[in-house]
């Protein structure tokens, strides 16, 4: 501890900020997890419990994705949703030497951290090219590929870093601003969106973006209290109260599921995710070389239905020579080790 002297008085000891237990209440207190190199033993214990350490992300279906994409030395690839960089790291090791990977993401906060982490692992600017763009704009990269990509990967899930950090507004487990923007430098937060929407518009979003069965009650409650909902916990409390009044015997699990679906629905609306995904899927064929492979990991029906439809139409028209008939799921052991992988749906296609 450091001794501090004030006005000639006896030095006082300045206490070090301590790690408060296994599960600290405040995100910023999880410094052992955030400093994974120094506290590797703590991180390992947390992972064994099936929990992603704070500030990290456990990549899903890695083995399945590598099997589908079959990356080889010298190939040119694209990780269209770079995130924490776990998938990118595995792909890069397999396209060495002479291959290179584009990694893109819209999150200006996490993309810098991920680049620093991957550079530290030894991936140079020549073999890993990072751009901050939405994957709907991937044709902009074609000029630098010399004819397209050998493989493309897109993991449509929100990263654990975004979910765990209350300042991003993605989690209802801790109080934070109701933001939900993947790129906080653009657009308006969810708290602004709900103030502009009618009750019917909210109801439509809840159904279209998350299949929420209690859409009417939740939309009515949000619309009624829209000027008072500026934080994640305020939205969660509003949903709890509306469902408890609707059905006094409703379980906590069902309430929590509805809260999660509501946050998902608003996040998709705030970021216009379905429009971006549709554009990405339309652009896909022109961005792949003949024989090129694409793998897309989705996490709910709204995403998976779009991917399935575009792949099926592409196969029927001869654009793709083969597609998966049924989505690939994470292995049972991975689902046990990482509960966030349970809802993952992996689909693939091969360009003609």
Q: Residues 143-177: pLDDT tens digits?
A: 999 899 999 999 998 877 777 788 888 888 889 99
Residues in the chain: 352
The H-assigned helical ranges of 124-251 are 160-164, 190-196, 199-210, 215-224, 232-246
Pairing of strands 2-4, 12-14: antiparallel
Instruction: Examine the pLDDT at 8 and tell me if it is beyond 70.
Output: no
Q: Which of 6-15, 155-164, 195-204 has the lowest mean pLDDT?
A: 6-15
- Phi and psi of 13, rounded to 5°? -85, 130
Residue 40 is classified by DSSP as H
Per-residue pLDDT for 18 more than 50? no
pLDDT at 49: 46
pLDDT of residue 57: 61
Given a cut of 50, whether residue 42 has pLDDT beyond it is no
The DSSP result for 230-287, as a single string, is -BHHHHHHHHHHHHHHH-TT--HHHHHHHHHHHHHHHHHHHHTHHHHHHHHHHHHHHH
Distance CA 51, CA 236 (A): 22
pTM value > 0.85: no
For the stretch 87-122, pLDDT in tens is: 999 999 999 999 999 999 999 999 999 999 999 999
Residue 31: what pLDDT? 40
Question: Do residues 88 and 82 make contact, with C-beta atoms less than 8 angstroms apart?
Answer: yes
Mean pLDDT calculated for residue range 128-156? 95
Three state DSSP letters for 54-121: CCCCCCCCHHHHHHHHCCCCCCEEEECCCCCCHHHHHHHHHHCCCCEEEEECCCCCHHHHHHHHHHHC
| Residue 318 burial by Cβ neighbours in a 10 Å radius (0-12, 13-18, 19+) | exposed
pLDDT of residue 66: 97
Query: How far apart (Å, rounded) are the C-alpha atoms in residues 339 and 257?
Result: 15
In CATH, what class is 62-160+274-351? alpha beta
> Over the stretch 232-242, which tens digit does the pLDDT of each residue have?
999 999 999 99
Residue 135's nearest CA partner among 269, 280, 273, 268 is 280
Mean pLDDT of 10-23: 46
With 60 as the cut, is the pLDDT of residue 184 above it? yes
Residue 2 has pLDDT above 50, yes or no: no
Superfamily assignment of 166-265 in CATH?
A: Putative methyltransferase TM0872, insert domain (1.10.150.170)
3-state secondary structure of 51: coil
**Which letter, b or e, does each residue of 154-171 get, where b requires 16 or more Cβ atoms within 10 Å of its Cβ?**
bbbbbbbbbbbbbebbbb
Q: What is the DSSP letter of 324?
A: -
Low-confidence winner among 43-52, 215-224, 263-272 (lowest mean pLDDT): 43-52
Rounded Cα distance, 23 and 249, in Å: 30
pLDDT of residue 161: 75
51 compared with 154, residue with greater pLDDT: 154
Give the domain ranges of the chain: 21-56, 62-160+274-351, 166-265
């Amino acid at each position: 501890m450091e001794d501090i002297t004030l006005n000639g008085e006896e030095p006082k000891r300045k206490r070090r900020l301590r790690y408060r237990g296994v599960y600290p209440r405040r995100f910023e207190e999880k410094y052992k997890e955030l400093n994974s190199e120094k506290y590797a033993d703590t991180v390992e214990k947390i992972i064994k419990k099936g929990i992603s350490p704070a500030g990290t992300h456990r990549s899903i279906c890695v083995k399945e994705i590598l099997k589908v994409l079959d990356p080889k030395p010298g190939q040119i690839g694209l990780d269209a949703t770079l995130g924490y960089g776990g998938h990118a790291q595995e792909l890069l090791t397999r396209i060495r030497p002479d291959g290179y990977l584009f990694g893109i993401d819209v999150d200006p906060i996490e993309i810098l951290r991920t680049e620093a982490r991957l550079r530290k692992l030894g991936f140079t600017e020549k073999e890993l090219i990072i751009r901050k763009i939405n994957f709907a704009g991937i044709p902009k990269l074609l000029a630098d590929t010399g004819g397209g990509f050998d493989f493309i990967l897109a993991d449509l899930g929100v990263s654990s870093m975004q979910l765990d950090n209350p300042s991003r507004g993605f989690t209802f487990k801790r109080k934070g601003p109701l933001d939900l923007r993947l790129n906080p430098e653009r657009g308006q937060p969810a708290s602004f969106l709900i103030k502009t929407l009618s009750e019917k518009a909210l109801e439509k979003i809840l159904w279209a973006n998350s299949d929420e069965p209690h859409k009417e009650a939740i939309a009515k409650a949000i619309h009624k209290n829209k000027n008072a909902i500026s934080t994640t916990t305020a939205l969660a409390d509003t949903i709890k109260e509306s469902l408890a009044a609707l059905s006094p015997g409703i379980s906590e699990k069902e309430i929590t599921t509805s809260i999660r679906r509501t946050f998902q629905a608003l996040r998709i609306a705030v970021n216009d995710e379905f429009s971006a995904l549709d554009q990405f899927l339309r652009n896909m064929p022109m961005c792949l070389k003949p024989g090129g492979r694409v793998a897309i990991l989705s996490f709910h029906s709204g995403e998976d239905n779009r991917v399935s439809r575009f792949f099926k139409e592409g196969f029927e028209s001869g654009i793709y020579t083969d597609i998966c008939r049924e989505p690939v799921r994470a292995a049972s052991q991975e689902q046990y080790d990482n509960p966030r992988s349970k809802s993952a749906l992996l689909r693939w296609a091969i360009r003609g």
